[in-house]
Structure 1
Amino acid sequence: MADDDRSPEEEFQELLRQLLGGGSGELDAEQLSRLSGMNIDPAMMQTLMQQLQGAFAAGGEGGISWDLAKRQALHIANQDGLGVTTGQRTDLDQAFALATLWLSEATTISELSAAPQAMTRGGWVEATLPFWQELAEPVATSIADALTEALQEQAPEEMQNLVQGAGRLMRTVGGSLFASQLGQVVGELSKEVVSGGDVGIPIMPDGIAAILPQNFADFGRDLEIPDDQLALYAAVRELAHARLFRHARWLRLHVISQITEFARGVHVDTEALEDLASRFDPSEPEELRRALESGALLPARSDAQDAALARLENLLATVEGWVDVVTENAASRLPSADRMAEAVRRRRAVGGPAERALGSLVGLELRPRRLREAAAMWRAVTDAVGVAARDSLWDYPDFMPSAEDIDDPAGLVARLEARARGEAPEPDEMDDALARLLAGEEGPAEPGEGPAGRGEGPVEPGAGDSAGDEDSGASPDDHRPV
């Protein structure tokens, strides 16, 4: 059959064969023009095919092109073309230096070994993208697999052989669509965050503190507070956050394991995806993008996910409550410290557009909903036993306050005061279970039971190995529950 005698459907199949064959991406314009009989814009199709060929080449065997997410994020982050000026860098260096001195009076947790940074939006993307990739990969894989299955079910009978041979490509395409959307969200988020710890989780590399001067205007909008005060307050808070995660190295693993536990439970609503595939119009590619943005492809959370999310929220609240109290004490000399603290709490409670989009994309909202209660607990502990005893609770996972301690700070304070007097703590469920195990009365505790029956989930293997490093000062003999 001559080329001119082929139907539009056959032309489309030929284009797919070119794509699967790893062509150069320069598709024949005349061939594309014949697609008008299928109501497909040839220009749009040529662009799409070139993008898919690039994704296919970069994605590897069933892989996801995270490089696509990086390019997309950096494109958005660097749109204004602005960097960090010499003046901004000097101002932030001075703010970090003074913040370091103030923090030395407010916490016993040691200084960072690496110098804090004035970071561009693009630099923030480069530094944090590995974390976002780890967070999003389970969802991306689920979407890619579901897209493959849905498209295979919706394809016409005459194209089944072609579709079955294109399974790897479809999985790559689905993953690449998600990666592109993730890049969009991370790029927009880079225009909202003020510092490395702004979203409350350890997204920065270990021991790195950073502030993004490009985003200071939005942080101080309507506050009518001088920039030098804003910079100093942000520097105190960022250093407190970075110091904590460097000191308690197990804490970073604990937070990431909680997030990963939640993310592994995320799956795609196949019925919603099949419905989208059945009415998908190639001339309206934004429909799939809107579905990803809105979270329409993610079903309601399961009971297990709700439980994982509750544990994560308590953990984040415990961390940020400590940061709040330490920052409050260290920055008490600033005239507008209370107003800036409230502005930070509002930003964390509401979140920006990009943070909300991230929640829709992966189904996880990073909200420390019990932040005020956790901060009140840390204030009560500080008042009762002092800074050193308070900060020692981060020396080992078993020492960290639980959700019950947030509910009842008085109980935690009583245990700490008894410990300071040298009194042996009352045995708890874990102590009783261990005693019975050593006595040969019964087997070990059920898998997944957290320390002291707190329901926090298992601690990462080796998570406590760093408790005796130069930062914590704790020895293995000190690792006893409070």
Structure 2
Amino acid sequence: MSDTPHLQPSGPGDDDQPDLAEILRALTGGDLSSNPELADALMQMGVQDLDPAMLQMVQAQVQAMMSGPADGSFNVQLATDAARKTVSAAGDSSVSSTTSRDVEQVVQVANLWLDEVTDLQAPTAGARAWSRAEWVEQTMPVWRRLVEPVAVGVGGAIKTAMQQQLGQLGEADLASELGLPPGVDASALVGQMEPMVARMSSAMFGMQVGQAVGALASELVTGTEVGLPLVEGNPIVVLPANVAAFAEGLGIEPGEVHLYLAVREAARARLFDEVSWVAPALIAAVQSYAGDISIDTDRIEEALREADTSDPAAMQSALQGSLFTPEPSEAQQRAVQRIETTLALVEGWVDVVSERATTPHLPHVAALSEAVRRRRASGGPAERVFSSLVGLELRPRRLRDAANLWAALEEAGGAQARDTAWEHPDFAPSGADLDDPLAYVERRTGSAPAAPERDALDDELDKLLAQGRAEMDNDTPTDDGDDESSSRTSE
């Protein structure tokens, strides 16, 4: 207590009085000398004149709002803990050494197959078999980078909304709204609430991130299935428990499912590792979108009005959920186009390369590819997570166009032409190239892909189409009579 000599216990005869310095130390979250402004403000509010019961009440309320470490715009530790609790509630067990060795062997085979179809090298980080909780721990640094812009916006919106609401209240109403006992200067306390609001916002958004990431960890089969470089260092990550769940009901031997998914993950890891600009471009595009998001301040103000402001837990619960109504700006629309195009190019390349690598070795590649497409087309867990956190639908809508472009480029110039298109972002296909892939192929290789060989089935189909056009023309009167009908049929 020597650090704060002006905050001494009440006096030698007052054994029932609390140690005021200790109470204020608890209120301010630690050593009073590190926060003398807040300590002085609390003294000026008349805290020292309260009876012990009221003082304990103030301590409980303020300490609750001030609890937890300050951790930037959102509490990453709280997010990690919430995500771990989410996966634990769904069931999560550590990966045994036997399973880890099995995954390493599967990835080794996957890399051997990929070596036959691409010159992009396997990352040196090797293979990893992770539990859901391990995936949470390892990917949280990247999640922080992705959602930080939204967390900053949410924190600012909450602060503004709270200041506006409190500013509209009179002194008596303000004390009542804050749940303060008589004798405390409520207006002075408002000036000291900003750190509390910041911590509350940080904790609230951290909890939301944790719940979303935990739900995603319970469904992803591999480390970067979402198409984003979430795993630092680009190891080839497999989540065995989720792969086993995905394999159920497919009617395909689980070992084949593991191999197919490992090939896809290994291909994606090679791309992120060898093509240095792809991962930063994706991260930057998501951050650009998130940084320009429109926060729903009306909803925040409504939540603050309805919540019990004296109960931090109730306020946090009220503020959780969708905190924004996205109204895409021009910058956001451009960011969305970059995200969708780059995601489509990445996943289209992975589709083509994986098919080339697995078709000679696995009997059910078509069925497995279709299962992956259905999973992706339904939105999947990644889209739900990004929709809740940044209001963004993370879906490569032009995936089929991208896959067709890569296949055409490979046909015209071989696997080398397909892969060297990634060498520089200026060389990579654009959204416009997805509209006209043959023009891009001709520009890159100097020749368009050869026309596919015709067979008897093609001839029969042409005959049927010609017959159908002739019948339609005969049923439609024209000014030129049979001559025009005959001419259109010959076309």
Contact 1:139 1:267 in 2 (8 A): no
CA distance in 1, matches of 2:63, 2:85: 19
**1:52 Cα shift?**
3.3
Contact 2:107 2:259 in 1 (8 A): yes
* CA pair 31-298 structure 1, distance change in 2 beyond 3 A: farther
For residue 372 of structure 2, the aligned residue among 329, 334, 344 is 344
* CA pair 417-353 structure 1, distance change in 2 beyond 3 A: closer
Q: Residue 268 of structure 2 aligns with which residue? A: 241
1:398 alignment partner, SS class: coil
* CA pair 306-53 structure 1, distance change in 2 beyond 3 A: same
* CA pair 161-344 structure 1, distance change in 2 beyond 3 A: same
**1:109 Cα shift?**
0.8
**1:262 Cα shift?**
0.8
Contact 1:136 1:263 in 2 (8 A): yes
* CA pair 101-29 structure 1, distance change in 2 beyond 3 A: farther
Superposed CA deviations along residues 278-325 of structure 1, whole A, max 9, x for unmatched, are 2224579568546532x2533422232122112210111011100110
1:297 alignment partner, SS class: coil
CA distance in 2, matches of 1:338, 1:405: 27
CA distance in 1, matches of 2:393, 2:148: 16
Q: Residue 297 of structure 1 aligns with which residue? A: 324
Q: Residue 393 of structure 1 aligns with which residue? A: 421
**1:353 Cα shift?**
4.8
CA distance in 2, matches of 1:309, 1:195: 24
Contact 2:383 2:395 in 1 (8 A): no
CA distance in 2, matches of 1:236, 1:364: 28
Contact 1:152 1:160 in 2 (8 A): no
* CA pair 50-166 structure 1, distance change in 2 beyond 3 A: closer
Give runs of aligned pairs for residues 346-365 of structure 1, distance below 5 A: 346-353=374-381, 355-365=383-393
CA distance in 2, matches of 1:108, 1:397: 19
Contact 2:220 2:242 in 1 (8 A): yes
Q: Residue 425 of structure 1 aligns with which residue? A: none
> Does structure 1 residue 59 correspond to structure 2 residue 70?
yes
**1:85 Cα shift?**
2.2
Superposed CA deviations along residues 179-228 of structure 1, whole A, max 9, x for unmatched, are 11101111121111111121111111133110000112331232111110
Give the letter aligned to residue 356 of structure 1: R
Give the letter aligned to residue 249 of structure 1: S
For residue 196 of structure 1, the aligned residue among 219, 223, 227 is 223
1:225 alignment partner, SS class: coil
* CA pair 337-31 structure 1, distance change in 2 beyond 3 A: farther
Q: Residue 118 of structure 1 aligns with which residue? A: 129
Superposed CA deviations along residues 440-482 of structure 1, whole A, max 9, x for unmatched, are xxxxxxxxxxxxxxxxxxxxxxxxxxxxxxxxxxxxxxxxxxx
Give the letter aligned to residue 65 of structure 2: L
**1:64 Cα shift?**
3.3
Give the letter aligned to residue 392 of structure 1: T
> Does structure 1 residue 209 correspond to structure 2 residue 209?
no
Contact 1:186 1:354 in 2 (8 A): no
Instruction: Structure 1: give runs of 5+ residues left out of the alignment.
Output: 1-15, 36-44, 421-482
**1:388 Cα shift?**
0.9
Q: Residue 95 of structure 1 aligns with which residue? A: 106
**1:83 Cα shift?**
1.0
Q: Residue 449 of structure 1 aligns with which residue? A: none
Contact 2:70 2:199 in 1 (8 A): yes
* CA pair 287-337 structure 1, distance change in 2 beyond 3 A: farther
CA distance in 2, matches of 1:367, 1:272: 27
Give the letter aligned to residue 399 of structure 2: L
Q: Residue 73 of structure 1 aligns with which residue? A: 83
**1:398 Cα shift?**
1.4
**1:229 Cα shift?**
0.4
CA distance in 1, matches of 2:270, 2:107: 13
CA distance in 1, matches of 2:323, 2:74: 21
**1:135 Cα shift?**
0.9
Q: After TM superposition, which residue ranges in structure 1, 4 or more long, deviate above 6 angstroms?
A: 16-19, 32-35
C-alpha RMSD of the superposition:
2.8
For residue 274 of structure 1, the aligned residue among 280, 301, 320 is 301
For residue 143 of structure 2, the aligned residue among 132, 139, 145 is 132
* CA pair 417-298 structure 1, distance change in 2 beyond 3 A: same
1:117 alignment partner, SS class: strand
> Does structure 1 residue 315 correspond to structure 2 residue 342?
yes
CA distance in 2, matches of 1:317, 1:81: 32
* CA pair 353-32 structure 1, distance change in 2 beyond 3 A: farther
2:332 alignment partner, SS class: helix
> Does structure 1 residue 179 correspond to structure 2 residue 189?
no
Instruction: Structure 2: give runs of 5+ residues left out of the alignment.
Output: 1-22, 32-50, 172-185, 449-491
Q: How many residues align?
A: 388
**1:19 Cα shift?**
6.8
* CA pair 81-392 structure 1, distance change in 2 beyond 3 A: closer
Give the letter aligned to residue 399 of structure 1: F
Structure whose CA Rg is larger: 2
Give runs of aligned pairs for residues 151-190 of structure 1, distance below 5 A: 151-155=162-166, 156-158=169-171, 159-190=186-217
Contact 1:100 1:236 in 2 (8 A): yes
Give runs of aligned pairs for residues 260-271 of structure 1, distance below 5 A: 260-271=287-298
**1:411 Cα shift?**
0.4
Q: Residue 454 of structure 2 aligns with which residue? A: none
CA distance in 2, matches of 1:17, 1:170: 19
> Does structure 1 residue 368 correspond to structure 2 residue 396?
yes
* CA pair 290-280 structure 1, distance change in 2 beyond 3 A: closer
Q: Residue 327 of structure 1 aligns with which residue? A: 354
Give the letter aligned to residue 417 of structure 1: T
Superposed CA deviations along residues 107-145 of structure 1, whole A, max 9, x for unmatched, are 111122121111111211111101111111111111111
Contact 1:146 1:268 in 2 (8 A): yes
1:59 alignment partner, SS class: coil
Give the letter aligned to residue 290 of structure 2: A
Instruction: Indicate the percent of aligned positions where both proteins have the same amino acid.
Output: 38
Q: Residue 480 of structure 2 aligns with which residue? A: none
Contact 1:19 1:53 in 2 (8 A): no
* CA pair 66-284 structure 1, distance change in 2 beyond 3 A: closer
**1:357 Cα shift?**
3.7
Contact 2:64 2:312 in 1 (8 A): no
CA distance in 2, matches of 1:339, 1:19: 62
Give the letter aligned to residue 395 of structure 2: R
Q: Residue 450 of structure 1 aligns with which residue? A: none
Superposed CA deviations along residues 389-435 of structure 1, whole A, max 9, x for unmatched, are 11011112211111111111110111122289xxxxxxxxxxxxxxx
Q: Residue 116 of structure 2 aligns with which residue? A: 105
Contact 2:110 2:262 in 1 (8 A): yes
